[in-house]
Amino acid sequence: MLGQRLRSLRHERGLSLKQLSEQAGISIALLSQVERDQLDPSLDTLRKLAKALNVPLFTLFHEPTDNGIAVVRRSRRASLIAGPGAVAYSRISPGFGRLEMLEGVLEPGAMSSPELWEHNSEECAVVLEGTLTVEFSDEVHVLSAGDSIYFDSKRAHRYINRGNERCIYIVAVTPPSF
């Protein structure tokens, strides 16, 4: 499904494999394998592709439909697990509109990104369980259950679980960028 959606978005923008691979900073071979569903790309690769296509990351997984009202069942949420030691996201919002809601799960020692990264959005996160460290280039904030943080996502950042227990948090992003 990802490969078909990616190919469709690339064609809608009139891009060749080479053009998209150059814009995303990935190899043509990697892009081709992803489009043919022969390879599951990393979260970093998905972020690069979404940025190059100028779409929120979760848009790569299915085409959004907008009828104005949506119920998202837990069992039907779009999910992205970035791999061992990384964040697992599931989208709470339906995938259309100007606001995206995600549930993030970080196991002890896991992080949302190996490096600080920025995107053109605003973000607000609230911790439901555990402890969440929000790291910026020049400051660090440690949040406990019930605490929240709001920031301009153009500031390079990442989420880290430096605790001994799983951390679950909700993050709202506008406009959508995941």
Contact 57, 177 (CB under 8 A): yes
Cis peptide before 175 (omega within 30 of 0): yes
Half-sphere exposure of 143 (CA within 13 A, CB side): 23
**Domains and their CATH numbers in the chain:** 2-55 (1.10.260.40), 74-174 (2.60.120.10)
Q: pLDDT for 114-170, tens place per residue?
A: 899 998 899 999 999 999 999 999 999 999 999 999 999 999 999 999 999 999 999
pLDDT at 2: 83
Evaluate if pTM is beyond 0.85: no
Q: Which residue did the predictor score with more confidence, 68 or 131? A: 131
The Cβ of residue 172 has, within 10 Å, a number of other Cβ atoms equal to 19
